Amino acid sequence: MSEIVEQIQKLKKQRNAVILGHNYQLPEVQDIADFVGDSLGLSLKAHETSASVIVFCGVRFMAETAAIISPDKTVLLPDAQAGCPLAEMISVAELRELKAAHPGVPVVCYINTNADVKAECDLCCTSANALEIVESLESEEVIFVPDKYLGSYVQEKTKKHLILGKGFCPTHQVFTVEEIAALKAEYPGALFMIHPETNPDLRAVADYVGGTGGMRVFARNNPGPFIVGTEVGMLHRLEQENPGKLFVPASERAVCPNMKKITLEKVLWALEDMQPVITVEEPTASLARRSIERMLAINTQ
Ligand code: 13P
């Protein structure tokens, strides 16, 4: 074990901390996490942990979600600048405008939103449960923000009419149908999996469409090889869990610069200094908690 990993493990015990890491984290960060998962799995872990401190190796909206659902815990985000451009693509003012234009229509917000936006929504969702969450509503119309691509994916699968936001994840826009065709020719029989945050042309040529949690199940249940259409950190997770299977990135350009801001050094410093702490002010926290807890209730039934 390297010296820094030893220091992190020691401090983690002293602080009664748990380290949660998203599937897109750097390999060495994934390797020191107590739990690595998708947005839904991480929210559930943050909800049920008995630790006093959560070190969240991910981006800000994930740490905010943990702070909202576990208000009695200290949530640390090792780099306070690790944001999410998609989450910035809808503001409270824009959402209020959308709600005013569609009075009485319920709002589902992707978990990739800031806390003040979650506070304005009826229900939260992740890529793992977006369709299920939309279908859980009685209304025939649903406002879905901010991801237009995830929204269009759900729209393909539901009879409800979705009013979509205009946001998108830049990291998931780098794939091209031409490059996928070239990879398929290079790796005959390869299965192409892709995240629903991508455009419909790409999803149309995929063998599997799903969030990072779904991809892990798909990889477990199939022989591969696999072409992985999401952020490249996912390859480490998949390789760890499936020794001997081949995983090829759909694009080396699919790198989320924010996820990559979290390093082992920053995890250590966060535990040493108990900084940066992520908090969400009231009444935003209580209002946002309702939309997150409604989602978790559906997924833990
Ligand atoms: P999931 O891990 O929930 O699929 O989401 C990944 C993501 O796009 C985070 O922005």
> Ligand 1 centre from 211 Cα, in Å?
6
The CA-based angle 246-21-45, given to 5 degrees, is 115
For the chain, how many structural domains are there in total? Answer: 3
Ligand 1, atom 7, residue with closest C-alpha: 39
What are the distances in angstroms from CA 95 to CA 16, 38, 140, 217, 281?
39, 26, 19, 34, 20
- Burial of 291 by CB count in 10 Å (0-12 exposed, 13-18 middle, 19+ buried)? buried
> Ligand 1 centre from 255 Cα, in Å?
13
The DSSP line for 172-211 is GG---HHHHHHHHHHSTTPEEEE-TTS-HHHHHT-SEE--
Domain enclosing residue 205, as ranges: 175-249
Q: Are 124 and 141 members of one domain? A: yes
Determine, yes or no, domain membership for 149.
yes
Name, in order, each residue with C-beta under 8 angstroms of 132's C-beta and a sequence gap of 6 or more: 125, 298, 299
Q: Are 159 and 193 members of one domain? A: no
Half-sphere exposure of 61 (CA within 13 A, CB side): 26
Determine, yes or no, domain membership for 212.
yes
Alpha helix (H) residue ranges in 56-211: 60-69, 92-101, 115-118, 130-135, 148-157, 177-186, 200-204
What pLDDT does 276 receive? 98
> Ligand 1 centre from 157 Cα, in Å?
19
CATH number at residue 150: 3.40.50.10800
Determine, yes or no, domain membership for 254.
no
Q: Are 26 and 150 members of one domain? A: no
What pLDDT does 100 receive? 97
Q: Are 145 and 292 members of one domain? A: yes
Q: Are 159 and 195 members of one domain? A: no
> Ligand 1 centre from 232 Cα, in Å?
12
Q: Are 96 and 158 members of one domain? A: yes
What pLDDT does 300 receive? 59
Determine, yes or no, domain membership for 292.
yes
Of ligand 1's listed atoms, the one at least distance from the Cα of 172 is 8
- Partners of 19 in beta bridges: 55
> Ligand 1 centre from 229 Cα, in Å?
12
pTM: 0.94
Q: Are 27 and 74 members of one domain? A: yes
Q: Which two tokens stand for residue 20?
A: 């949660």
Q: Are 206 and 68 members of one domain? A: no
> Ligand 1 centre from 212 Cα, in Å?
6
> Ligand 1 centre from 221 Cα, in Å?
21
Ligand 1, atom 4, residue with closest C-alpha: 211
Determine, yes or no, domain membership for 278.
no
- φ and ψ at residue 228, rounded to 5 degrees: -100, 110
- Burial of 174 by CB count in 10 Å (0-12 exposed, 13-18 middle, 19+ buried)? middle
Of ligand 1's listed atoms, the one at least distance from the Cα of 112 is 10
Determine, yes or no, domain membership for 194.
yes
Ligand 1, atom 10, residue with closest C-alpha: 112
Q: Are 136 and 117 members of one domain? A: yes
Q: Are 295 and 237 members of one domain? A: no
pLDDT per position in the chain (301 positions), as tens?
Answer: 799 999 999 999 999 999 999 999 999 999 999 999 999 889 889 989 999 999 999 999 999 999 999 999 999 999 999 999 999 999 999 999 999 999 999 999 999 999 999 999 999 999 999 999 999 999 999 999 999 999 999 999 999 999 999 999 999 999 999 999 999 999 999 999 999 999 999 999 999 999 999 999 999 999 989 999 999 999 999 999 999 999 999 999 999 999 999 999 999 999 999 999 999 999 999 999 999 999 998 875 4
Determine, yes or no, domain membership for 269.
yes
Of ligand 1's listed atoms, the one at least distance from the Cα of 126 is 3
Pocket of ligand 1 (CB under 6 A): 23, 38-40, 112, 126-128, 169, 197, 211-212
Q: Are 6 and 80 members of one domain? A: yes
Determine, yes or no, domain membership for 73.
yes
Name, in order, each residue with C-beta under 8 angstroms of 220's C-beta and a sequence gap of 6 or more: 241, 242
> Ligand 1 centre from 26 Cα, in Å?
15
What pLDDT does 240 receive? 96
Residue to probe by mutation, ligand 1, list 40, 65, 111, 127, most atoms within 8 Å of CB: 127
Q: Are 7 and 80 members of one domain? A: yes
What angle do helix axes 284-299 and 39-48 make, rounded to 10 degrees?
110
Distance of CA 248 to the CA centre of its chain: 21
Name, in order, each residue with C-beta under 8 angstroms of 48's C-beta and a sequence gap of 6 or more: none
